[in-house]
Structures are given as structure tokens and as C-alpha cells.
A and B are shown apart, each in its own frame.
Chain A
Amino acid sequence: MNCEQVQQQLAVAVLDPSQALPEQDLTAHLERCDICRSALQEWTAVGQALQELPERPVPPAARRAVLQHAHQAVSPAANSVWAWLREWLLDWRNPMLPIFMGLLTTSVFALVLAMHMDLSLLPPLGLTLAGAMWTGLFAVVFYLFSVGMRQREHSWRFLAQTALVAIGIFFVITVFSPLPHAVRFCSNFSLTQPLMERLSIGGAYFVFGVLYSLVPMAIGAFVAAGRYAQHPVLRSSMAGGVFMLLLAPAIFLQCAPFALGVVLGWFGGAMLGALVGGVLGYWARHRLVRQSIEMYLFL
């Protein structure tokens, strides 16, 4: 038996003692071979170091989550309709979930828009197509989110999460102050009237478009940027693009009765606001917050 064969056997025997060589053969070889003797000492040291790696306890949150799931799975309530529905809604592998969420979100948002404008002004076919397109876009974004959750694809999850948070905030703002109302209010308000008169109507919609997408997008990026480190500007801009895709139908629906200049002004402003807001939100999360924590700790 040559040295290489002996060393191979010694290495595997350190891991699995049942693989040890017959003692007579081994002793005879080790007595006359310094290299193998030294190798045995090193294998043993490596094996011991592996054995002594520290063991951590299971984090309590993980333990709670697993045991809670175990309880729910076998509880009598697990067979109820409500439990089935909850399971269905929380299962990221469910292929119907993004479609359902797309339909639900579109319905809610269409309802919000209908509260502020007369949707009957639009042709029924156009309205149906816009609704279908919107549902599809939302379904794709929810699909990205579910893939992110399922496969721990943080980049996709961030992308979808940012856009969804931003569009949600945009609609909350729209409920309280729809953009056309805000433009009209500022045009009549004595303090802002001179400024609004200098801007054309398209310019006014551009400025408000920037604000109405920058704020939600910045908040969305701030909220979602927690576990996101690589290529922040590129990915924040991509998230801004996804947000714009979701926002575009809302803009066109609200602008349908207006002139083309208004539509283009709002759309261009929203696009600029979405891109700047994404980068700004990310930057705020990673620079300002970190700096303030460091300052707090330092003081």
C-alpha cells in the first residue's frame, strides 16, 4: 500500500471510523513513514476542528413559525372554508393567486377612480380593454412578488413590492386629492395662481405628475429597500418603470376627456417622478437612516 492510498484511507477514517485500516497495516506503515504520520496528525486536527464548530440554538421566531404551522395543519379548523381560503391566499405557489390579486386590485382601483370621474364618458370597449390590461399588469407584478417570496429572489420581490406599495399610496392620495382637482385648486388659489398662469396646462400637469409619482415611489423604495444591496440605481429605476406600467392606465383613464398636451404632461411628469423617487427612496433608506443610527450610537 503506497502513501497516497494510506493518506486517502486516513482522511476518510477521520470522518467515518468504520473505514479505518487494519491496525497492523497502519502501524507498520506509520512507523516507517514520517510524511503519513504528519498527515495523520493534520487530518485528526482538521476532524477535531470540524467537530468543535459552535452550535447555535434555533432562533425563537423560526421555532414559533414552524410550530404554529404544525398546529394549524392538524387543527379541526384546518378543514373549514375560512382555513382553506386563508391557506389558498397565503400559498405563494398557487398559480391562480396572482390572477385573483390582479382582478381584485383592478376592481378596487377602478372603483376609486369611478368615485372621482364619470367613467361612462369612455367607450365601453376601451374601458373593458383598459381593465383587462390593468388586470394583466397587476397579475404579472403579483406573480413576480410570489416568485420572489417562493424562491427568495430578493431582487424580484423588491421590484414588485416597491411598485405595489407606490401604486397603493398613489391611490390613497388620489382618494383625498385627485390630481385634476389639485391642479384646479392651485389655479384658483391666490398664492399659487401667478405661478400656475406662467405654466401652460400641460406644464402644470407635468409638475403635479412629478409630485404625484415621486412621493409614492420614494416611500415605496424606502419601505422595500431593506434587503437590497447590488446595483441600487439600476434596480430602483426598474422598480420605477414597473410602477409606471401600473400607473399608466390610471393616468389615461383620468385624462381621457382632456387634451393630448395634458396627457403627455402628466405622463412625462409621472415617469420622471417615478425614476427620481425610486432612487431617492433607496438612497434615503441606506444613507440617511444609517447615518442617523450611527450618529445616535456615537452620541
Chain B
Amino acid sequence: MPQRSDEQLMRDYARGDVQAFEALFRRHGQKIYNLFLRFSGDPQLAEDLLQECFLRVIEARDRYRSENAFDRWLITIAINLLRDHHRRSRRRNEKTMSEEPVAPDAGNPAGTNPQLDLERRYLQDAVQKALLSLPAEQREVILLSKYYGFSFAEIADMLNITPAAAKQKAYRGMLSLRKKLAYLKEQDT
């Protein structure tokens, strides 16, 4: 039996097929959770936002139009949630992101070199920290592009900006990341 597309699954869920929703969640839940996690650095917040995001999908099941690609529609919901949260945090004058980088969850796979594992963790922490220090709009573009593989034209469409502006934000973000991570290169040499 051919695999149903996301759009078909969403249509089926709107007609009452709960398994269709489960399949959608299996396909996209982890990606969205990690997008929130990388964006915020806060596992508890990422969990809350993930639930809120899929609750919005559930509530909008009858309004969803299948001519819109499901993954882009889902990302737009996720980005709007992140922006709402960011706006509220700024208004409350709180930190938007956790100061502690997200600890890798995978643990130490059997047979790997603990020294290498430690180095990998150190690098991942440094990258996550550098990512969290970027302005939100640069982080959005970089994550959507690198993590989701969207083109700048698609990102521009989702974020309601021009492709040139998306590229500019990506460039500035990458420039900051390169500067912030330069010390790792110095440590290597």
C-alpha cells in the first residue's frame, strides 16, 4: 500500500481517522520538538510549545486546505508560536533562552571512545550556545535552512520576507557563528 502524503493524512484525520494523525505526529513530531529545542535551548519550553503546536493543528483540522504543503503550514504555526513566546519574554524582560546549552541525549554509545565523545559533546554545547546567542530572526533562517533543508525562497515565503532579506539574515547569522566559534579552531591549533 503506497504511503499516504502528509496532506492526505491531514484530510483523513479531519474525517476522523486518528491513525492518520498518529502517522503525521510520527513524521513531524520529533523534527518540530528539536526545532523548538534548538531555538530555545529549554527542554521544558520545547515540550510545551510542541504540545501547543499540535493542538493548533488538531483545532484547525477542518480549516486546513490541502493545496498548502503540510510541512510548511506546520512550520509556520511553529514559527508563530516561537515569535509569540519571544515577544512575551521580551515584554517581561526575561531571558528568551536558557543559559545552559541543551545536553545531548544520546549518551555514550557502546564501543565509542569516551575522549572523542567528550570532545563531540563539548563542540555540540559550544555550537548550541552560539546558536542561542544569535538574534531570533537569524536563528529562524539558519535553523529552517540547515535543519529543515528549506530553500531561501521557501523560507522567505514562510517568514513573509524577501529572499534577499532571508539570505542577508543567514549571512549575518553565519558570520556571528563563525566569530563565536573561532576559539574552537584556535584550541585545535
A residues engaging B (CB < 8 A)? 8, 11-12, 14-16, 18-19, 39, 42-43, 45-47, 49-59, 61-63, 65-67, 69-71, 73-74, 151-153, 155
Contact = CB atoms under 8 A, between A and B. Distances in A.
B30 A58 contact: yes
A19 B167 CA distance: 10
A52 B174 CA distance: 16
B174 A15 contact: yes
A218 B13 CA distance: 48
Contacts of A58: 29-30, 33, 50
B69 interface: no
A67 B21 contact: yes
A49 B80 CA distance: 27
Given A42-B182, A74-B61, 18 more contacts: A15-B170, A45-B185, A46-B177, A49-B127, A54-B106, A54-B124, A59-B43, A66-B25, A66-B50, A66-B51, A69-B58, A70-B13, A70-B21, A73-B58, A74-B17, A152-B85, A153-B92, A155-B92
Nearest to B14: A74
Given A50-B127, A54-B105, A62 B146 contact: no
Contacts of B114: none
Given A12-B170, A62-B47, A74 B16 contact: yes
B124 A50 contact: no
A30 to B, nearest CB: 17
A47 B127 CA distance: 10
B146 A55 contact: no
A11 B61 contact: no
A63 B25 contact: yes
B134 to A, nearest CB: 11
Contacts of B167: 8, 12, 19
A56 B33 contact: yes
Interface residues of B, number: 54
Q: Main SS of chain A's interface residues?
A: helix
A56 B124 CA distance: 13
B133 interface: no
Nearest to B61: A73
Contacts of B145: 15-16
A151 B145 CA distance: 28
A53 B29 contact: no
17 contacts: A12-B174, A15-B152, A15-B174, A18-B151, A45-B181, A47-B146, A50-B127, A50-B131, A50-B147, A51-B146, A53-B127, A53-B128, A62-B33, A66-B29, A70-B21, A73-B58, A73-B59
Interface string B35-69: 00110000101011011001100110100000000
Nearest to B37: A56
